[in-house]
Amino acid sequence: MRLTDMTPMIDRFSRPISYLRLSVTDRCNFRCVYCMPAEGIKTIPKADILTFEEIARVVEVGVSLGLTKLRLTGGEPTVRADLPVLVRMLREIRGLGEISMTTNAARLAELAGPLRSAGLDRVNISLDTLDRDRAAAIARRDILPEVMAGIEAAIAAGLTPLKFNAVVMRGHNDQDLCDLAAFAHERGAQMRFIEYMPMGDARLDIDDSSTRATMTAAEMRVRLAERFDLVPEPSPTADGKAVPSTGDATPPADLHDPARGWYCRRTGTRVGFITSMSDHFCDTCNRMRLTAEGALRPCLHQDAEVDVRSLLRTGGSDARIADAYRQAAALKWEGHRMTQLVPLYSRREMVAIGG
């Protein structure tokens, strides 16, 4: 069977799967409180992590099934040795569109240029606060100067349009929202605020209720109203195009973007809210994940995985890898269940999945 003969992936709720979030490692140079417990995690043996050649093969099959967008994640993807080599291999796959990466930026001062030259299009940078002490408390590392240097390197290398991500936790960094929004705007970027999601044992290090730290997007907007008069950006139509604005011009909205966009009419500042807890966006989800050890995972919050590493290492055909993709798509929930009072959500740490 030729790859071009394969049928595109559609899950059982008629959602096409076109976006793969690819974890290249479960290792990280930070120890963020919302991502892993203080003692860290038991990492995957290096022999069990997919090689660059294995990753490229899985992605190529996925592209034949309709994948057009790829995001490199971790752990922290930049701690994987020779990452630009992988990016160059992926860039050579015909039919693959945007290749982006989520990173903490601490190594971008040295890697931004090589990654851009290899074919990386842009980056999302995790930035939970601009206060050095709070940054050290959240990451359990004193790293803000390295992050700031990485941000400037990303801009200089053209890894844009740049987006910043902040996981907002009540009592940890909720006082920083206005400063973060202004910082992003000064650099022509969107600031995206993420509702804290209780996952794995890391949630026990934040508070024992696993929900008290969650600050909803509505609460965040009240805080931001101190400096910004935010209004919603236009909503996308079913074909992914934005409804024409009747007010100030704004960038087109993306139907599949989990961040719901708002902008300040006075300053032009753009922010997005990822409302995984208060108002999930599962009905437009087009994502699947590939973990560092080679498991296709249909949902970040769902403990369901389909092993492809064994296929790769036992002579499995591309058609069988395609079947693994379809099997994972068929397992995908209609919506996540993190807000239910039953232990159905993921017990794996965020760092081990590739958020």
288 assigned binding-site residue: yes
1 assigned binding-site residue: no
269 assigned binding-site residue: no
> What phi and psi, each to the nearest 5 degrees, are found at residue 41?
-130, 165
Under a CB-based contact definition with an 8 Å cutoff, are residues 294 and 312 in contact? yes
291 assigned binding-site residue: no
Tokens encoding 142:
């004193």
28 assigned binding-site residue: yes
Taking alpha carbons only, the member of 144, 129, 118 closest to residue 30 is: 144
287 assigned binding-site residue: yes
* Distances from the Cα of 85 to the Cα of 54, 102, 290, angstroms: 13, 17, 19
197 assigned binding-site residue: yes
332 assigned binding-site residue: no
* Distances from the Cα of 243 to the Cα of 251, 260, 261, 274, 283, angstroms: 11, 14, 13, 20, 19
264 assigned binding-site residue: no
Under a CB-based contact definition with an 8 Å cutoff, are residues 349 and 291 in contact? no
75 assigned binding-site residue: yes
46 assigned binding-site residue: no
Tokens encoding 202:
């890391």
Under a CB-based contact definition with an 8 Å cutoff, are residues 274 and 259 in contact? yes
289 assigned binding-site residue: yes
Q: Give exposure, 38-57, as e/b (b: 16+ Cβ within 10 Å).
A: eeebebbeeeebbebebbbb
345 assigned binding-site residue: no
- Residues annotated in a binding site for GTP: 21, 71, 102, 163, 287-289
- Residues annotated in a binding site for [4Fe-4S] cluster: 28, 32, 35, 282, 285, 299
- Residues annotated in a binding site: 21, 28, 32, 34-35, 71, 75, 102, 126, 163, 197, 282, 285, 287-289, 299
- Residues annotated in a binding site for S-adenosyl-L-methionine: 34, 75, 126, 197
